[in-house]
Amino acid sequence: MKANVGGTDKILRVAAGVALIAFTLLGIIGGWIGLVPLLTGLFNFCPLYTLLGVNTCKLK
């Protein structure tokens, strides 16, 4: 897995993931979908970015 998520993208993914999971704790159904952006942000890898040829990571 080559890193393709970096910088601001990573921060936004982690924040969105945590927020969605917090909504689940408040009783909103479906907030566990927040695991997807949280994990892609933490691992610096997004499979969809690979398919689309997108890379926001500055590391080579």
Q: Looking at per-residue confidence, does 58 or 13 come out higher? A: 13
Q: Where are the domains of the chain?
A: 7-52
Structure tokens at 34: 């927040």
Mean pLDDT of the chain: 93
Q: Looking at per-residue confidence, does 59 or 29 come out higher? A: 29
pTM of the model as a whole: 0.88
Q: Is the dihedral of CA 47, 48, 49, 51 positive or negative?
A: positive
The whole-number pLDDT of residue 58 equals: 86
Q: Over pLDDT 90: what percentage of the chain?
A: 82
Give the end-to-end CA distance of the chain in Å, rounded to a whole number: 13
